[in-house]
């Protein structure tokens, strides 16, 4: 599922994800969500202080490293942009 996240999950739920981001109104928020059996988006948590890490062993979570790298790079860019303002 994570290998097709940008091509399948995000487009399918773009409206809900954008609406959530707009309503929360923060520059950074972490969400924990999944799809129900019928393809609906189910949110478990939305938080500004969640722990996001890349410490899991790649033997167990081989897909995670690439996604965490993208997230960390995006977060660093967000901070640089905010500092430049």
Non-local CB neighbours of 52 within 8 Å, separated by 6+ positions: 30, 68, 71
Task: Kindly report, residue by residue over 27-82, the tens digit of the pLDDT.
Answer: 889 999 999 999 999 999 988 888 888 899 999 999 898 899 999 999 999 999 99
Same domain, 36 and 5: yes
Same domain, 5 and 45: yes
Neighbouring CB atoms inside 10 A of 17's CB total 16
Same domain, 29 and 42: yes
pTM, rounded to two decimals:
0.77
- Here the tokens at position 71 are 């997230």
Task: Kindly report, residue by residue over 36-48, the tens digit of the pLDDT.
Answer: 999 999 999 988 8
- Here the tokens at position 69 are 């790298």
Confidence grade of residue 2 (pLDDT, cut at 50, 70, 90): confident
Distance CA 24, CA 51 (A): 18
Q: State the residue range of the domain holding 33.
A: 1-50
Distance CA 78, CA 25 (A): 15
Same domain, 11 and 34: yes
Same domain, 4 and 44: yes
Same domain, 34 and 64: no
How many domains does one find in the chain? 2
Same domain, 40 and 61: no
Same domain, 46 and 33: yes
Helix (H) or strand (E) holding 14: helix 10-24
């Amino acid at each position: 599922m994570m290998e097709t996240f940008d091509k399948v999950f995000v487009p399918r739920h773009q409206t809900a994800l954008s609406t959530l981001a707009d309503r929360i109104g923060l520059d950074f928020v972490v969400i924990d969500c999944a799809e129900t059996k019928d393809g609906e988006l189910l949110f478990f948590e939305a938080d500004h202080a969640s722990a996001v890490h890349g410490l899991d062993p790649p033997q167990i979570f081989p897909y995670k490293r690439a996604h965490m790298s993208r997230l960390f790079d995006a977060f660093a860019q967000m901070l640089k942009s905010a500092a430049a303002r």
